[in-house]
Chains A and B, each alone.
Chain A
Amino acid sequence: MSDNYLSWGHYPRISQKVQEIHWRSEQLPKLIGEESVLPYGLGRSYGDVCLNEGGTILSTSSMARFIAFDDETGLLRCDAGVCLHDLLQFIVPKGWFVPVTPGTRYVTIGGMIANDVHGKNHHRVGTFGCHVTCFELLRSNGKRLVCSQDENPQLFTATIGGLGLTGLITWAEIKLSKIAGPFIDTESIRFDDLSDFFELSKESDKTWEYTVAWIDSLAKGKNLGRGLFMRGNHSDKTHPDKFDELKPKLAIPVNAPSNLLNKYSIKLFNSAYYRKQLGRTIQRQQFYDKYFYPLDGIGDWNRLYGKKGLLQYQCVVPMDYGYEAISEILGQCANKGQGSFLSVLKVFGKKKSPGLLSFPREGATLALDFPNRGKETFLLLDSLDKIVTEANGAVYPAKDARMNSNSFKSYYPNWAEFAEYIDPRFSSSFWRRVMEQTGS
């Protein structure tokens, strides 16, 4: 049993067995009795989708080899354990980029498929799963199935966003996007409230590939929803400069005291961040890594939240209720003094993912993070679930550690269809939790 394989939120803390997978040709370990397995990449999902309490996780980060790359078409085939960081170091100098990137480079390709991750360009290109052409799935009966839109299409759609439950993805093929160089032209615009955000977003989504906003989560009243809107496009500039890496300059070596991030420090940070930008609009050119992965610059930043860890909350609500639901959520947080340290708001586009259980759908998505203060935090999140349910929205499993079964089933009406494709020997702490009958 090992306690070393945590999720990024450091909550929950559980014990599980670990089996390393080094080669895509390997067989799955022999299972005794009811034992279950679950693929584990780099442990960057926040809650318990990557954990398997009492069972075994299959650690895939050593199964990380390239298989083929076509510099003409941008088709890349590689092992599922390949880390996005290594992939970018290889493809960016050749003039290619991943079609969709999450906010950290320390994720595996398999994990990006299993959580069907999205990025700041969702309004243009959809989720990561929209750009996966095929992959191989190793099932517990020893069968290896190549899955694509044409071959085993049901398993293909169940596995994209399938939270690792349909089998082990051994390799995958993705279609990369061509870029002129490693730079991003960016603009940061200060806005005063939520309706300004929606206007900026509407206007920007037409001409900007990447859009996202940071929100001051403790601002109340007429300031509710104020923040900074950040938009970017890949620059045409091809600079001969070296690719200087964003190495963690600062790393958090140990867990901080649990009360470091409190009402006052969060409020201080949020107002300072809002005010750091004096002018309304700032334009600049940034290296792609500083633009996409600013938090990777602080190694193990999750330790700032102390031993009890953090709870992330990301929801999406349809645009019809977007304004009301988001302002209600922000209002709840501000009134209860439970500010989120980093709050991010974006509008998802129309493009549908092939994934049966995918989280992104058209609407406004808000991501919040809370230090785990026990009961009061859980009660607050339960009340946010109610708002999301009423607005006909959904909460993101990759960031969740606590939603109940009823909420999950209402957010993911396809869950029963999805469940038919789960491998009988694969399971996770998350899945057992949301399948539990809650009674209420």
Chain B
Amino acid sequence: MQRILIIGATSTIAQAVAKLYAQSGAQLFLVGRNSEKLAQISQDLMVRGATTADIFACDLADKTKHEEILHAANKILGDMDIALIAHGTLPEQKECENSIEQTMQELEVNFLSVVSLLTLLANNFEKQARGCIAVISSVAGDRGRQSNYVYGAAKGGLTVFLGGLRNRLSKVGVHVLTIKPGFVITPMTQEFKKGLLWAQPESVARVIVSAIEKRKNVVYVPWFWRWIMFIIRNIPENVFKRMSL
């Protein structure tokens, strides 16, 4: 039986991942902002076969609560097999350009709050010398583009942070997985026009579970984003700066 901490448990991708683990009888600890939504998810996971599905409601932007989260999770789960961090927001780039406050807040939620949680989690996992830390970053972090560079900067910073953490924790056998989704059909992207590149959260979840099992380092979901981003990363800056991406 796997013991799993999920932070940002009300996100659509996290819900889909949790369902898969619940079916195999996992013990889950769900952290998110809204206790009513967490309760609905917990009921669903229990019906689907989870051994336990405890919930913890708090605002993840409040870093003073982070120690409390891990303390509570440790108390229920004991050692952890997997910690998945999935919370985030998709900022309106234009609004950020006109508001320092908005920009800082987006960096806070999508980068700094995750770094804070990872700092605590890393030490926990280092002590137990086993397990997997899986974090949802984004293809947006692979290169700054005019349409979403605030979000991209947060996710890019996160990807670099995770690279360093993987380097450090691999020495004690802890697996760090960087997940880079492309476009996924979720409430966060409700306003976007959908096309061929869009993926369902259920298929993204299956890729994440298999990447955790196979101890992959970095996974693009769906897989073709690896090649799309390879091309985008390799466009010379002099050409790139004139494009409207």
Contact = CB atoms under 8 A, between A and B. Distances in A.
Interface of A: 20, 22-25, 62, 65-69, 90
Contact of B43 (A22, A23, A66, A90): A66
Contacts of B190: 20
A25 B36 contact: yes
B195 interface: no
Interface residues on B, range: 10 to 19
Given A23-B37, A25-B36, A25-B37, A65 B44 contact: yes
Contact of B187 (A20, A25, A66, A67): A20
B226 interface: no
A65 B41 contact: yes
B99 interface: no
A170 B56 CA distance: 25
Interface string B37-81: 100110110011000000000000000000000000000000000
B interface majority secondary structure:
helix
A125 B245 CA distance: 59
A65 B187 contact: no
A23 B40 contact: yes
A20 B47 CA distance: 24
Contacts of A20: 187, 190
What are the nearest 6 A-B pairs in CB distance? A65-B44, A66-B47, A66-B44, A69-B47, A25-B36, A67-B43
Contact of A67 (B12, B36, B37, B47): B47
Contact of B40 (A62, A65, A69, A90): A65
A69 to B, nearest CB: 5
Contacts of B44: 65-67
Contacts of B43: 65-68
B48 A66 contact: yes
A291 to B, nearest CB: 25
A20 B12 CA distance: 14
B199 to A, nearest CB: 15
A246 B244 CA distance: 44
Contacts of B37: 23, 25
Contacts of A65: 40-41, 43-44
Nearest to B23: A90
A66 B50 CA distance: 12
Contacts of B41: 65
8 contacts: A20-B190, A24-B40, A62-B12, A65-B44, A66-B47, A67-B47, A68-B47, A69-B47
